Amino acid sequence: MSFLSLIGLFVVLKLFVYLALFLTGDTDLELWWYDKFKNNLGSFKDKVVWITGASSGIGEQIALNLSKHGAKLILSARSQDKLYHVKNRCIELSEGKLTANDILVLPMDVTHIAKHLSFFDNVINHFGKLDILVNNAGRSQRAVWEDIELGVDREAFELNVFSTVNLSRIAVKYFNQVGRGQIVITSSIAGIIPAPFSASYNATKHALHGYFGALRREKVHTNIHVTILCPGPVFSNFLKESFTARHGDKYGLTHSPTDNRMSAERCAHLSCVAIANKLKESWMAKFPILPITYLTVYYPVISYKLYELYGYKIAQKLRDNQ
């Protein structure tokens, strides 16, 4: 067999491997490799990790996952009772690695930006340091584009973007002083490819990529790392709490148990692998969301044509992954 034939065979085999992963996997190729061969979760031992939106869903499951590996935690959300429930579960799951003093319950509404610095000072006073800030608080949306009130756009940006940017700027200034640290952002596949009937939400997630993509490039020669997590549809209360077109409304409906969604536990595990290995951006979703994402990012003209052929109704169905 000639050298060129060997190269051709290698390329074909590589394509088959990629195709198999696309059809069976639920992560991008980089995250898949780290999850299978180098998850590095033991590195969380004694790290101090602050999680916003920690009372339910992905944030709660990240906290539970980290507790198993001995990370010291700050749990933040609006509901103090739910946070204490998560704290108790974390202590139990840690199997002696953590005591009550190793988990700080810090109730907060992240949109109260003026209080961020005092909350941050509470974290440093309690633990003496912060290693990782996980910005997980946020809400999705279901609404027709032209019906969305401008107040909803503002509210979505206050919660999903400005609160995250402000708290992260405080953390980065601290990381600059100590010479290391990690900022983690829970974005979405919708932050990569826009989903129909979620315009405000899409915009906030795209904005996060702009803000924190710039931060990553500015800190490229430092020991300050930025990890952006991009989940697809996940089983959580996210849909029920979603914004609508009208200010103050919530979508109110929830997903069906038969929906083709990733579990919050699986999403949290993959998120923790991405954080532990300081990956820059990680995609995670059940088939066929990831192949569509790759197609849209790398072959946008083809994706536009397919959208025109099959219409927004199918896109909406894939968006909710039902």
Active-site amino acid positions:
201
Q: Write 20-25 long-range contacts (CB < 8 A, 24+).
A: 22/287, 22/290, 22/291, 22/294, 23/287, 23/291, 24/287, 25/290
Q: Which among 275, 274, 193 is positioned nearest to 30, based on CA atoms?
A: 274
DSSP designation for 161: I
d(CA 81, CA 75): 12
d(CA 307, CA 315): 7
Q: What is the pairing mode between strands 132-135 and 48-52?
A: parallel
Q: Which among 63, 97, 95 is positioned nearest to 77, based on CA atoms?
A: 63
> How is the beta sheet containing 181-186 ordered, strand by strand?
103-105, 72-76, 48-52, 132-135, 181-186, 224-231, 281-284
CB 168 within 8 A of CB 183: yes
d(CA 137, CA 117): 17
State the virtual CA torsion across 304, 306, 308, 314 in degrees, nearest 10: -120
CB 72 within 8 A of CB 103: yes
